[in-house]
Amino acid sequence: MDFLRQGSDGAKRAADLMGSPQFQNIVRRSVKEGVAQGGNASKELLKAQATLAKSKRYKAWVNALGKDDRAALQAGLLGYLFQDKILEQEQ
């Protein structure tokens, strides 16, 4: 995740996205629903994810990502955020 290098445009875009109430609500709901542990997301959570993906903040963040990170987002934001945790559980 090269976009987190301090001072980079990607880091600024990530901070802006993570500071948004929409993003924070999605993370809280994901934890509550057990998505980080491999559980399925509710319809409401998936809808919130889709709504966030249409926001200017989200699009600015995606545009600042590298090719590999953009490819990883094909599974959606939840899959992208929790991919390392899910891979740990599979091993």
Asked if residue 79 lies in contact with residue 24, where contact means CB atoms within 8 angstroms, the answer is no
Q: 8-39, pLDDT tens digit by residue?
A: 788 889 899 999 999 999 999 999 998 878 78
Asked if residue 41 lies in contact with residue 51, where contact means CB atoms within 8 angstroms, the answer is no
Q: List the one residue out of 82, 75, 45, 73 whose CA is nearest residue 64.
A: 73
Q: List the one residue out of 70, 79, 12, 14 whose CA is nearest residue 49.
A: 79
What pLDDT sits at residue 7? 60
Q: Is the pLDDT of residue 41 over 70?
A: yes
What pLDDT sits at residue 5? 52
